[in-house]
A and B are shown apart, each in its own frame.
Chain A
Amino acid sequence: MNEKTSGSDYILEMENVSVDFPVKGFTAFLKRQKISAVSDVSLRIEKGQTFGVVGESGCGKSTLANTMIGMVKPTAGRVTFKGKNLFELDRKSFKKTRRDMQMIFQDPFSSLNPRFNVHDIISEPLLIRGDATEEEMKARVVELLELVGLSKDDIDRHPSDFSGGQQQRIAIARSIILNPDFLVCDEPVSALDVSVHAQILNLLTEIQEKLGLTYVFISHNLAVVKNICDRMVVMYLGKVMEGGSAKAIFDNPRHPYTLALLTAVLDTDVDKEKEEIILEGDIPSPIDPPQGCRFWQRCPHAMEGCKNVPVPEVEIERDHYVACHHVNGFPDTDLPEGYDRPVKTEEAERKDKSHPLKTEESVESKTDA
């Protein structure tokens, strides 16, 4: 996302934002360590669009979201919301600005105070703003309840009386009561049943059309993101791997991690032949990440140079950026010896073949079924 054009149609801009957290513990005798949750991320979000952030847990997408809404202060970089730098505002105007941004959380139950009833939950932001009478608040709550598909009889009930999907509807109603412009949805459906996903996603798009909201949509499921996002980034360990227009990325995914995520989306189409890319290993710890590509440990195409040559984001087509040496080739300068040797050693290959499950017998039984 390195567009040089700057216009007023961007509602939120992030420039080279990094967030580090110090690691707590007995650091007196050790080198002081830090977790690099978000590292050098720049992005621009246009008004009225849906911006997708995709990645697995630990990739920094939640920290990124918290930085957008001013809950976490970045260690470096700027966050500009509607032309104002969020972290340079004084307390009062910061609070005022932040009323235009709201968030929907992953786990609906923990985002509703179990001791409050539905009316008190939904009207809380209005009550805090303090410019509405009791009747006005009640009328607004009823209006919102109907908008999100609940009935006005639910107004006195408590969160525990509702199913997960209904709880998420209540949370959505609360988030839009102040008429915000900018709504961050942090995995709004992943704690819910698959059959409820569609309901909530449709509700969110419907609300967006009605109120003209800008969404940041965080998810690990590319199938969800595909249909509702205009632009997106794929993140891994705090870095952007691939970004740009959602259409470009889905039409022509290039980064090995994006490809792996795409094949990891499970489908219900049993007749389609699927090519599976199953990544080896786990997501490494974000403490002191490598200098080079952060994905190299799990990448099937990793080369020696990937370990420590920094990866720039390169625009490979219009509004489509990829950060990968395998796709873009290595830069010409300062390359270490043997940078293009594949990392996957022969020993590892042999070990892979002798893996007890990869015997011929099992291959046969797989094709049988």
Chain B
Amino acid sequence: MNREQTNENMLAVRNLKVVFPMAHGVIRAVEGVDLDIKKGESVALVGESGCGKSVTSKSLMKLLDTPPALMRVDDITLDGESLKDYSEKKMQDIRGRHMSMIFQDAMTSLNPVMTCGRQIDEMYMRHQGMDKKEARKHTIRALELVGVPEPKSRARNFPHELSGGMRQRVLLAMAFACMPKLIIADEPTTALDVTIQAQVLDVLRDMQRTHGVSLLLITHDLSVVSNIAETVYVMYSGKIVEKAPMKELFRTPYHPYSEGLLKSVPKLSDEGKQFVQIPGSVPHPMKKPSGCYFHPRCPYATEECRQSMPPLEKRGEDRLVRCFHPLKHDAKEAKTA
């Protein structure tokens, strides 16, 4: 991977490792992850549950409880500023103002005894030093931006008085309140209904593009990614297995795991009663297999895969893949090139 720091990177993470010591061994949650997010770019981190994607996002914000977790990283830079040695107090200032996070469950990430408007006001008051009146004006504007009808009266509602979709919008408004440089969205739509999910994704994409904010979207569902992300990182069992621009990944996945993920999404165009499945399940984080972690589930595995972990190699422009036998898409590749 390109280890040089480029100026256009909003976020650059080098060699992030997180482990959880347990009574019977060590859980290796994240094993040397590098991430680059350009300014104004939206990047998705995709993987099954237990692959370490949520741990990665939390450690970027330094929200991971240490202990129990132990984290080591070569460098984290946000807009050229190294966050590696920042104290908790300094990080509190960074969170909200420069980086903010949207969680999956809006009900638990909003304070149930404060009105929604008040919670957004706080963001303005704390990070931009506005007074109450001015903050409320901005709040109403922010709620309007994320498509909350009647923002004035909605701001006076408590979280439980709003529907799931509305709560998620309030979280969006809060995350975008101070126009941060980077927003991390951890499964922002999994708890929502399909038609509401479409609305929220639409708002998230529009907000991100109009304001030029960098976005890191974390999800297990590749179909969500297709709507929103420009670059996709696929993560498996603590390691990045493939990085590619979204369209290229969807057209021509190189890693067998990415291919499996893509094919296992149920599609309307599918015919027949069988669904394409990836056999087996994610290895237990304490008992990872030898060699390539994916080899027990991989249809193309060879002796080499069983013995050593393939390196993350450059393959074509902007693409990285960790596989000894990357898939070939000769016909399609020729067409897109």
Question: Which of A19-27, A300-308, A354-362 lines the interface with chain B?
Answer: A354-362
A165 to B277, CA, bound (A): 12
On chain B, the residues within 8 Å of A165 by CB distance are 281
Contact present for B149 and A281 (CB under 8 Å): yes
Distance in Å: Cβ of A193 to nearest Cβ of chain B: 5
Question: Which of B22-30, B116-124, B126-134, B190-198 lines the interface with chain A?
Answer: B190-198
On chain B, the residues within 8 Å of A155 by CB distance are none
The CB with the most chain B CB atoms within 10 A, among A165, A261, A267, A268, is that of A268
Contact present for B270 and A227 (CB under 8 Å): yes
The CB with the most chain A CB atoms within 10 A, among B145, B221, B271, is that of B221
Select B261's contact among A164, A195, A279, A281, beta carbons within 8 Å: A195
Contact code string A252-289 (vs B, CB < 8 Å = 1, else 0): 00000000111111111111000010110111000000
Q: Which 9 A-B pairs have the closest CB atoms?
A: A266-B223, A198-B277, A198-B275, A56-B193, A223-B266, A264-B194, A198-B264, A270-B250, A282-B163
Select B196's contact among A223, A282, A359, A366, beta carbons within 8 Å: A282
A344 to B219, CA, bound (A): 36
Contact present for B163 and A195 (CB under 8 Å): no
A220 to B195, CA, bound (A): 10
On chain B, the residues within 8 Å of A193 by CB distance are 48-49, 220
Distance in Å: Cβ of B50 to nearest Cβ of chain A: 7
Contact code string B271-283 (vs A, CB < 8 Å = 1, else 0): 1111111110110
On chain B, the residues within 8 Å of A266 by CB distance are 221, 223-224, 226-227, 265
A270 to B145, CA, bound (A): 28
Residues facing B in A72-100 (CB within 8 A) are: none
Contact present for A194 and B222 (CB under 8 Å): yes
Residue on A nearest B272 in the bound complex, by CB? A227
A-B pairs with beta carbons under 8 Å apart, 8 shown: A198-B275, A199-B279, A227-B272, A227-B273, A266-B226, A266-B227, A268-B223, A268-B226
Residues facing B in A106-158 (CB within 8 A) are: none
Distance in Å: Cβ of B274 to nearest Cβ of chain A: 6
Contact present for B195 and A194 (CB under 8 Å): no
Contact code string B236-272 (vs A, CB < 8 Å = 1, else 0): 0000000000110011000000001110111111111
Contact present for A195 and B264 (CB under 8 Å): yes
Distance in Å: Cβ of B144 to nearest Cβ of chain A: 6
Residue on B nearest A229 in the bound complex, by CB? B273
Distance in Å: Cβ of B276 to nearest Cβ of chain A: 6
Contact present for B195 and A279 (CB under 8 Å): yes
Select B275's contact among A201, A269, A281, A357, beta carbons within 8 Å: A201
Question: Is B165's CB within 8 Å of the partner chain A?
Answer: yes
With contacts A268-B262, A270-B226, A283-B163 known, is A369 near B209, CB below 8 A?
A: yes
Contact present for B209 and A366 (CB under 8 Å): yes
With contacts A261-B195, A278-B199, A282-B165 known, is A361 near B210, CB below 8 A?
A: yes
Known: A202-B277, A279-B195. 12 other contacts (CB 8 A): A163-B281, A193-B220, A194-B265, A224-B266, A227-B270, A265-B267, A267-B267, A269-B267, A278-B195, A278-B198, A282-B163, A357-B147
Question: Is B19's CB within 8 Å of the partner chain A?
Answer: no
A226 to B272, CA, bound (A): 9
What is the interface size of chain B, counting residues whose CB is below 8 A from a CB of the partner? 56
A95 to B223, CA, bound (A): 43
Question: Is A365's CB within 8 Å of the partner chain B?
Answer: yes
A57 to B194, CA, bound (A): 9
With contacts A195-B264, A201-B275, A268-B262 known, is A357 near B145, CB below 8 A?
A: yes
Contact code string B209-233 (vs A, CB < 8 Å = 1, else 0): 1100000000011111011001000
On chain A, the residues within 8 Å of B147 by CB distance are 355, 357
Select A220's contact among B193, B260, B272, beta carbons within 8 Å: B193
Contact present for A220 and B49 (CB under 8 Å): no
With contacts A193-B49, A227-B273 known, is A268 near B267, CB below 8 A?
A: yes
A276 to B279, CA, bound (A): 33
Select A194's contact among B163, B203, B227, B264, beta carbons within 8 Å: B264
On chain A, the residues within 8 Å of B93 by CB distance are none
With contacts A199-B277, A282-B163 known, is A267 near B223, CB below 8 A?
A: yes
Residue on A nearest B279 in the bound complex, by CB? A199
On chain B, the residues within 8 Å of A361 by CB distance are 210
Contact present for A195 and B260 (CB under 8 Å): yes
The CB with the most chain B CB atoms within 10 A, among A222, A266, A356, A362, is that of A266
Distance in Å: Cβ of B139 to nearest Cβ of chain A: 14
Question: Is B206's CB within 8 Å of the partner chain A?
Answer: yes
On chain B, the residues within 8 Å of A276 by CB distance are 198, 202
Contact code string A181-203 (vs B, CB < 8 Å = 1, else 0): 00000000000011111110110
A272 to B309, CA, bound (A): 36
With contacts A195-B278, A266-B226, A278-B199 known, is A362 near B206, CB below 8 A?
A: yes
Question: Is A66's CB within 8 Å of the partner chain B?
Answer: no
Question: Is B207's CB within 8 Å of the partner chain A?
Answer: yes
On chain B, the residues within 8 Å of A261 by CB distance are 194-195
On chain A, the residues within 8 Å of B262 by CB distance are 268
With contacts A194-B223, A227-B273, A271-B251 known, is A220 near B194, CB below 8 A?
A: yes
Question: Is A221's CB within 8 Å of the partner chain B?
Answer: yes
Contact present for A221 and B194 (CB under 8 Å): yes
